[in-house]
Structure 1
Amino acid sequence: MTKTTLSALLIAALPFGALADDDDDRGFGLAGLLSAKNKQDLEPIQLSAGMPLTGAPWVLKSGTYYEFEIQGDGSQELALVGPEFFRAIWIDEIVVEGLEIRPLGLDSIEFDEAGEMEIGFVAIKPGSYYLKVPGSTGETQRLEITIE
């Protein structure tokens, strides 16, 4: 066996990642979609009687991991619906008072009293979506969401 053939066999036996430069940012890190480099925090949603849900619409990027909080002040029993949005994302987890929930899907959430939850998800399907307080007609009770 020649020296060149032996060298080629040794290089071929190395894992592909061993040949990549650690400083090269051509893809996701070791955790892929869930890596810290691919995570963004969104503005919290405020559930309060007569108050706007957020200050601005959300513009999301498909393939990015997002986290946001929903904060209910207990001023009224309030819900959020957005079935089309919830079907356009993959929900990693919902955290309520330290309890982690990993649902297969979601249609709506409701706060009967004051509380907070955090939702972590990956935006998947590009399009225009919304989350809104059911039965409301005001623009401040609706969050416009775009996934690019």
Structure 2
Amino acid sequence: MRKPIFAALAALFLASPAAAAPLCAELGFAGLLAKCNRGEPIEITLSAGKPLGNAVTLQSGAYYEMRITADGSAELAISGAPFFRAIWMNEIVINGIEVRPMAIDSLEFDEEGTATLSFIAIKPGSYEVKIPNTTGDSQKVAIAIQ
């Protein structure tokens, strides 16, 4: 009886994806913020009637930048509290001003501009960021953290 239980537990722990480790073997003094641990930037565009962006898959433990650019065609916001709670936010940079928040629920753009969020993906799962009060698939970006 014990052997099947131990075998099941071993299979469960050994079957976890290898991609869940940081992107580089030697993180050095910078730790998780090391250059070798950075994933591809995530681009999101806020524009009236246009899609936000493509679905992305992130790796837990890796460092990312999300660039949210509004073209000023409308007053638009982007929300995604569950996603923002699943990451460790390093900073948000808006017009050269660095903000280091504990957490955010949304960002609203009254005019054109860019906000850059730098973060480390932490909690595996499926999330989305979207324009509030919209239901269209083009008005959200699906984000998976592995």
Q: Structure 1 length as normaliser, TM-score?
A: 0.80
User: How does 1:32-71 map onto structure 2 within 5 Å?
Assistant: 32-54=31-53, 56-71=54-69
Gaps of at least 5 residues in structure 2 are 1-23
For residue 127 of structure 2, give the secondary structure of its aligned residue in structure 1. strand
Aligned residue number for residue 82 of structure 2: 84
Gaps of at least 5 residues in structure 1 are 1-24
1:83 touches 1:106 (CA, 8 Å); kept in 2?
yes
Residue 33 of structure 1, CA deviation: 0.3
2:48 touches 2:74 (CA, 8 Å); kept in 1?
yes
Distance in structure 2 (CA, Å) of the matches to 1:125 and 1:26: 21
User: How does 1:1-148 map onto structure 2 within 5 Å?
Assistant: 26-54=25-53, 56-148=54-146
Q: Sequence identity, in percent?
A: 50
For residue 39 of structure 2, give the secondary structure of its aligned residue in structure 1. strand
1:90 touches 1:123 (CA, 8 Å); kept in 2?
yes
Pairwise CA RMSD:
1.1
Aligned residue number for residue 4 of structure 1: none
Q: What are the Cα deviations for residues 85-141 of structure 1, in whole angstroms up to 9, with x where unaligned? A: 000000000000100000010111100111111110000000000000011111000
For residue 94 of structure 1, give the secondary structure of its aligned residue in structure 2. strand
Q: Structure 2 length as normaliser, TM-score?
A: 0.81
**Equivalent residue letter for 1:71:** T
- Over 3 Å counting, the alpha-carbon distance change for 1:26 and 1:118 in structure 2 is closer
